[in-house]
Amino acid sequence: MLGGMQDAPLRISNIIDHAAREHGAREIVTRWADGSTTRSNWAGIAGDARKFSQALEKLGMKKGDRIATFAMNHGHHLAAWYGISGMGGVVHTINPRLFEEQLVYIMNHAEDRVLLFDKAFEPIIAGLKDQLKTVEHYILFDGEGDYPTFRELTDAEDGNFDWVEGDEREPCGLCYTSGTTGNPKGVLYEHRSNVIHAITEGQPDAMNLSQSSVMLPIVPMFHANAWGLPFACAVTGSKMVFSAVNDGEVLHNLVLDEGVTHSAGVPTVWLAMFQHMDANTVDYGKLEMVVIGGSAAPRAMIERLMKAGVYVLHAWGMTETSPIGTIGMRPPNWDDLSFDQKVDIICKQGRTPFGIEIRVVDDDGNELPRDGESSGSLHVRGPWVLDQYFQDESGKCVGDDNWFDTGDVAVIHPDGTMQITDRAKDVIKSGGEWISSIELENAAVGCPGVAEAAAVGVYHPKWDERPLLLIVKKDGADLSGEDVVDYLKDKVAKWWLPDEVKFVGELPHTATGKILKRALRDEYKDYRLETA
């Protein structure tokens, strides 16, 4: 033998053991829905996780069983994650904002044996119970009721539990995507993929996490593993601050009271926080970095945060990529750039960290050049990218070369920076040319008086499709369609300007806070423009 390295598998239990051993006193703070606050630390979370593993084994759970969580962000949810994976189970995070038929389908398809849920969701669970075919045990995360509670189960154990061992490629997590057609599809995460993802996520050119960081993940734990932050923060020993409600005032107060340095969420949550700050006090406290993902961030949002001295990290990913795909890394000449040049860079979705590869291809599958102009279908591959959906009889969803088609349309610039131009189904095709609905609506959000904007393509006899811009006004705003178009004239190409601006009271959103473009396309499919 020439020698070599130890054969130690990469498992989630390694992460929580490290956090407890090396960063045990670092705080885990939860602000609950009732306004109360509890405090633990990484050592306490690790202890509760072992106790919960014991409790699950007493309930008859075994390796590979799916244990569902129906909950918001809090310390009990965090401990349950580590306890479930530690006993060999699979954490199935469920989005409580989905429709009833989707929830029933997901839990039955996953064959969940245990369901943990927040007290706030008890009415939903009561309405679903009779339709759930495999759930044997119901556990309350908080409050009191007719079910055993997480705290009661863990307090009854002594924590003398050895983590279940196994291969690093065994499953540890399950998250379903709310697809555009058909039933949701399950993405099964492995111990190995989550550990590698967590190590990468904390790097300086990624989220720059350390034991001095204070992370407030606004992105829900049911949304693509809260972007992997509960694992990355355990690796780095960062303090975590959780809120069981995503209210602008509550979140802002936590930023100030807990000394939050890092936070992460979709654009809509930042808009809610801005609204509260504008009505009260504009104070970012110790906030250093904001990670924005889920959908493209409007330029005005990026500008506001950057002017306040906050490091904005624009990221792209999806459930199928665990979810990090690209990260808004700064180029070496960052300090030499003007403010507008810096914003131009951050508005793009960034570059790939080690472990991920991307490419864009044309309709015939030919790889397109990285010239910042050639737009095509975005493909991705790597060790934390989906190979096959959970219990999907159609088989692998990648080719022999492992490239996964994301459904996004993008360009890649010469330096490797990727820029999403649209979802393939959302591109507005006008006169044989493509109009990016994302860029158009993000430009519109910068217009004074605009709260939200969505652009959809509607029928035109000459151009095939033309943009209809739907606008939600800010409260009290005095705004006309002409005002919006005038604002856009130097922001987008002339032929991108909407043929019509329509003001609406609200826009539909997905369960993760994105604008539900599918519903808008259906609603306006027969709409007739005055110019048509």
358, 497: one domain: no
CB 299 within 8 A of CB 442: yes
Fill in the DSSP letter of residue 319: G
- Which residue, of 390, 424, 458, is where some domain finishes? 424
CATH of the domain at 110: 3.40.50.12780
Choose among 180, 224, 178, 184: nearest CA to 201.
224
381, 459: one domain: no
Q: State residue 180's pLDDT score.
A: 46
List the chain pLDDT tens, one digit each, 532 residues: 688 999 899 999 999 999 999 999 999 999 999 999 999 999 999 999 999 999 999 999 999 999 999 999 999 999 999 999 999 999 999 999 888 988 999 999 999 999 999 999 999 999 999 999 999 999 999 999 899 999 999 999 999 999 999 999 999 999 998 654 568 899 999 999 999 999 999 999 999 999 999 999 999 999 899 999 999 999 999 999 999 998 999 999 999 999 999 999 988 788 888 888 888 877 999 999 999 987 778 888 999 999 999 999 999 999 999 999 999 999 999 999 999 999 999 999 999 999 999 999 998 999 999 999 998 999 999 999 999 999 998 889 998 899 999 988 899 999 999 998 877 667 787 765 668 788 898 899 999 999 999 999 898 877 878 999 999 999 999 999 999 999 999 888 788 899 999 999 999 987 667 788 878 888 998 898 887 7
Report whether the peptide linkage leading into residue 323 is cis, meaning its omega lies within 30 degrees of zero. Answer: yes
Could you give the CA distance from residue 173 to residue 187 in angstroms, rounded to a whole number? 8
Choose among 199, 202, 221: nearest CA to 212.
202
Q: State residue 511's pLDDT score.
A: 66
Q: State residue 363's pLDDT score.
A: 85
Amino acid at 444: A
Q: How many helices, marked H, and strands, marked E, lie in the chain?
A: 15, 23
Q: For residue 181, which phi and psi values (nearest 5 degrees)?
A: -135, 150
250, 157: one domain: no
Extended strands (E) in 103-199? 114-117, 137-140, 171-177, 185-190
Q: State residue 297's pLDDT score.
A: 84
185, 260: one domain: no
Could you give the CA distance from residue 291 to residue 285 in angstroms, rounded to a whole number? 16
Could you give the CA distance from residue 212 to residue 313 in angstroms, rounded to a whole number? 19
Could you give the CA distance from residue 216 to residue 250 in angstroms, rounded to a whole number? 12
- Cβ count near 311 (within 10 Å): 17
Q: Look at residue 417 and give its three-state secondary structure.
A: coil
Q: How far apart are the first and last CA of the chain?
A: 77
163, 60: one domain: yes
455 CB contacts (<8 Å, ≥6 apart)?
428, 435, 437, 440, 441, 444, 467, 468, 469, 470, 498
263, 116: one domain: no
Could you give the CA distance from residue 466 to residue 361 in angstroms, rounded to a whole number? 25
CB 224 within 8 A of CB 323: yes
How many structural domains comprise the chain? 3
86, 119: one domain: yes
- Which residue, of 185, 202, 219, is where some domain finishes? 202
CB 149 within 8 A of CB 127: no
Name the token pair of 229: 């932050």
**122-142: b or e for each residue (b if 16 or more CB lie within 10 Å)?**
beebeebeeebebbebbbbbb
Q: State residue 98's pLDDT score.
A: 83
Containing structural domain, residue 389: 246-424
Choose among 61, 355, 80: nearest CA to 192.
355
CB 319 within 8 A of CB 224: yes
Residue 239 lies in a domain: no
CB 451 within 8 A of CB 472: yes
Name the token pair of 45: 């979370």
Residue 149 lies in a domain: yes
**Catalytic residue set:** 177, 320, 429, 434
Residue 174 lies in a domain: yes
366, 470: one domain: no
CB 345 within 8 A of CB 314: no
377, 437: one domain: no
Which residues share a beta bridge with 187?
175
Could you give the CA distance from residue 295 to residue 219 in angstroms, rounded to a whole number? 12
Could you give the CA distance from residue 422 to residue 258 in angstroms, rounded to a whole number? 37
Q: State residue 390's pLDDT score.
A: 97
Could you give the CA distance from residue 457 to residue 473 in angstroms, rounded to a whole number? 21
DSSP assignment of 334-363 equals GGGS-HHHHHHHHTS-BBPPTT-EEEEE-T
Residue 57 lies in a domain: yes
Could you give the CA distance from residue 294 to residue 516 in angstroms, rounded to a whole number? 12
Which residues share a beta bridge with 367?
361
167, 21: one domain: yes
Q: State residue 433's pLDDT score.
A: 65
165, 118: one domain: yes
Residue 223 lies in a domain: no
Residue 303 Ramachandran class (φ > 0 left, ψ -120 to 50 alpha, else beta): alpha
Choose among 189, 187, 255: nearest CA to 217.
255
- Which residue, of 374, 407, 424, is where some domain finishes? 424
CATH of the domain at 460: 3.30.300.30
Could you give the CA distance from residue 306 to residue 289 in angstroms, rounded to a whole number? 10
Specify the residue for token string 């060790």. 383
Fill in the DSSP letter of residue 459: E
Q: What angle do CA 175, 41, 221 make, to 5 degrees?
A: 15
CB 279 within 8 A of CB 305: no
Q: How far is CA 239 from CA 77, 148, 216, 475, 477, in A?
A: 16, 29, 9, 37, 40
Residue 285 lies in a domain: yes
527 CB contacts (<8 Å, ≥6 apart)?
458, 459, 468
Name the token pair of 254: 């936590």
Fill in the DSSP letter of residue 294: S
Could you give the CA distance from residue 349 to residue 326 in angstroms, rounded to a whole number? 6
413, 459: one domain: no
CA within 13 Å, CB half, 308: 19
Q: State residue 459's pLDDT score.
A: 85
Name the token pair of 353: 């960290």
- Cβ count near 328 (within 10 Å): 25
